[in-house]
Structure 1
C-alpha cells in the first residue's frame, strides 16, 4: 500500500515536472517566434505585398473610366484661341507719281502737229513736235500751228526747247505760246540758231495747248518751227 502511494506520488511529481518543462519551452518558442518570424509569415504580412498595393489605383482607374458605348459622344475639343487675334491694320495706298512722259506719247485731242526728229542749233531732238513752213504758209500770226493735249491734271512742269530747225531760211522768226485751259502760261520768240529753253508750270492743268507761228517771213521761206523734245514731269 505504501509502495503504491509512493509510485503514485512519484508519477504525479514527474508529470508536474514535465508539464513545467513543456510550459517553459512553449514560452521560449513564443518569444523566439515573436522576435524572429519565419519567412512564410514575412511573405504573408501586409507590408510584404507591394503588388496588391500598387494594383489598387489601376483597379480604381478602370472602374472610373467605363468603356464608351454606341450612344456616347466624344468630348469636343476647345478650339477657341486663348489670346485674341489682332485685327489687320488698314492698308493705305500712297498716290502714284506719274513717270515723265513725252508729248508725242500722248494723243493730240485738238489741232495737229507732226511728230519728227529735228536738229536745232546743232542738237538733235528725236521726240519733237513741229510744223513745216511752206511758201507764205504760217507767215504772221494768221493760221498758227496748234496742238492740244489732255494732261488730266497729273503733271507740274513742261520742259521744252522752242526753236527753228537748222534748215530754216535765215530771216524767219518763230513765236511760241503755251496755254493751259485757255490761259497764256508762257511765250517766247526764237531766231535761227537761237532756241529758247522753256520750263512751264502746268500744275492743275487739264488741257495743254501749244501754239506756234512765224514772223518776218517772206515768200519762198521754208523750214520748221519746232518744239524740241517736250516732256512732262510730276515734279
Structure 2
C-alpha cells in the first residue's frame, strides 16, 4: 500500500484554482449572511422577545368611555331660541292711575259704576259741579288707545245731562253727551299724546234750584292700552 501517493493527490485537489475560487465565494456568502442577521437583530432592538422568552401576558382591553367634552354643545350646534311671541297689549285702568295736580275731590278713583243696567267694577266717577271741571293724566306718549264706557249712573235724575270732552294735549279727541240710560262706548286713538284731559259740564237745569245742577257721570272700566 502506497500512502504517500494518496496524500499528495488530496493536497493537489485543494490547490486546484477552481476549488479555491468556490470556497472563497462560499466564505463571502456566509459572511454576508452573518452581517444581515446582525443588522436584523439590531433593528429589532432589545425589546423584542426571543423565541425562548416567556409569553407576554394578554391583557383584555378595557372599555374606553366617551369623554364628556365630546357631547359639549358648540355654538354652531346649539339650538336657536325661538322668537318670543308678542304678549297681549298692556292694559292699565284709569282707576289705577294718579291724576296730575290738585284735581277736584269730586272724582272717585275707583268705584263699581252701574250704567244702563250693567256694572263696571273698575270705573272712575265724577260729580261734575255746576261750573264744570277737568281731570288730567300724564301718559308719557306711551299708549295707543283709550277704551271704556262713558255714561251717567242709573241712580241719577232722569233728566240729567252732561257734556264730556276728552282732550289729548289740549286737542279735542272726543265729545260725548251723557244721560241716564244712554251709555257710549269709546275707543280713542291717543298715540303720541303726552297729557290726557277729561272735562265735564252739566247741561241740564234743575227747575227746583233754578240753574245748572251738579251731575255724576262715570268712565266705566276705562283703560289705556299700549
Q: Computing the radius of gyration over CA atoms, which structure comes out larger, 1 or 2?
A: 1
Count residues with an aligned counterpart: 174
More off after superposition, 109-118 vs 155-164? 109-118
In terms of fraction of residues, the more helix-rich structure is 1
Aligned to 2:127: 132
Structure 2 counterpart of 1:122 = 117
8 Å CA contact retained: 1:213, 1:225? no
Give unpaired runs (5+ residues) of structure 1. 1-10, 57-95
Structure-1 residue corresponding to 2:42: 52
CA distance in 2, matches of 1:132, 1:157: 25
Distance in 2 of aligned mates of 1:15 and 1:45: 39
CA contact (8 A) 1:169 1:222 kept: no
Select the residue among 23, 33, 56 that pairs with 2:12: 23
Label 1:161 to 1:53 Cα distance change in 2 as closer, same or farther (>3 A). Answer: closer
Aligned to 1:157: 145
Q: When the two structures are superposed, what TM-score results if normalisation uses the length of structure 2?
A: 0.64
| CA shift in 2, pair 1:151/1:197, >3 Å | same
The answer to whether structure 1 residue 166 and structure 2 residue 157 are counterparts is no
Tell me how far apart the structure 2 counterparts of residues 176 and 232 of structure 1 sit (CA, whole Å). Answer: 18
Structure 2 Cα separation of the partners of residues 53 and 172 of structure 1: 120
Alignment RMSD: 3.5
Residue deviations 1:18-66 (CA, integer Å, cap 9, x gap): 22223326769865796599xxx5797111121224449xxxxxxxxxx
Instruction: Give 2:216's match in structure 1, choosing from 190, 214, 224.
Output: 224
